[in-house]
Structure 1
Amino acid sequence: MSEPIMPGLEFVYEAGGALGEPIAIGDTPDGARRIIPIFSGPVEGPHIRGTLIGQGADWQVTRADGVTVADATYAMQTDDGVVIQIRNRGLRHGPPEVMQRLGRGEDVDPADYYFRTIPEFIAPAGKYDWLNRSVFVCAGARYALSIKLWVWRVT
């Protein structure tokens, strides 16, 4: 039997995006649903630079256990003009008082709650097609009117 292979992490980029006012869908059988519009913001890192393209959205559901399930679809345009689609799914949760503060739009230290996602990229053939061939993980921070995402490639 061989030894397990420990994956590593390689930092890819930090992205920031402005957010629109939440659009409530309401209570559904699987939880409270809402849509969070995602607007433009910078993408900067050692492997890719550009801008998030506006008109994306996070279709969230908050389950009965207080966990918010994120399901965001948006795109970035690199500094050299390539458009890359991103679907970013994951979980956000924390102590009830912390999540209430986030819900009120207060800035909360990201270390006080869990916000992790798995971004999937759809890049065209060429310079960025390496995004199509790896697994990525992301840590996030939610602020009143913006979001910050840090993305790593699993090596």
Structure 2
Amino acid sequence: MKTLVHRHLMTLQLEVDFGRTRRIGAIASGYRGIAQVTGGSFTGERLSGKVESGADWYVIQPDGTLLIDVRLNLNGEDGVPIYLTYQGAMRGRGDAMARFAKGALLDPDEYSIVVNARLESGDARYAWLNALTLVGTGTQTLSGPIYEIFEIGESLT
């Protein structure tokens, strides 16, 4: 049996302008909105830089689950453009998601955020990013989420 291993790639901290959230409204699968990402940073042993811009095209399902669909423009610390996209969900216990929807800062034990991610770059120095399989976990803050992003695979070199 092969073992699935993981290695920390980066910590991603996003700045979200919640005041500029575009509320699309009720749709068949819940409630659609678009939250603007105005900045942030990412740091790791092999990858660091700044978040330029992006957004989360989210859906709040009737049970309160927040479906996440984020696309970001990143700049490596050397100025190389990198694209990051991730999808996932934030789920809470009890009334946690109802309180979150009203702007409450939740205790980390009340919810989970799990995402799968993909990085892309056309620069030869960052070609290794294009083949990575990535997963992450998130933490809510008042200024935006913080994610720990991990590379996963059968063996990591």
Q: TM-score, normalised by structure 2?
A: 0.89
Kindly provide the amino acid, as one letter, of the partner of residue 147 in structure 1.
Answer: P
Percentage identity across paired residues of the two chains: 23
Structure 1 match to 2:88: 90
Structure 1 match to 2:114: 116
> Partners in 2 of 1:98 and 1:65 — Cα distance?
11
Contact kept in structure 2, 1:41 and 1:53, CA below 8 Å: yes
Distance of aligned partners of 1:65 and 1:107 in 2 relative to their CA distance in 1, 3 Å threshold: closer
Question: Could you say what secondary structure the match of 1:43 adopts?
Answer: strand
Q: CA deviation at 1:116?
A: 0.5
> Partners in 1 of 2:65 and 2:33 — Cα distance?
14
Question: Could you say what secondary structure the match of 1:144 adopts?
Answer: coil
Contact kept in structure 1, 2:23 and 2:33, CA below 8 Å: yes
Structure 1 match to 2:75: 77
Contact kept in structure 1, 2:119 and 2:132, CA below 8 Å: no
1:17 and 2:11 are equivalent in the alignment: no
Q: CA deviation at 1:11?
A: 0.2
Structure 1, unmatched stretches of 5+, are: none
> Partners in 2 of 1:9 and 1:31 — Cα distance?
34
Q: TM-score, normalised by structure 1?
A: 0.90
Contact kept in structure 2, 1:15 and 1:149, CA below 8 Å: yes
1:135 and 2:142 are equivalent in the alignment: no
1:92-127 C-alpha deviation (Å, 9 max, x unpaired): 111242112322222223332110101111111422
Question: Could you say what secondary structure the match of 1:127 adopts?
Answer: helix
Range that drifts further, 78-87 or 121-130: 121-130
Structure 2, unmatched stretches of 5+, are: none
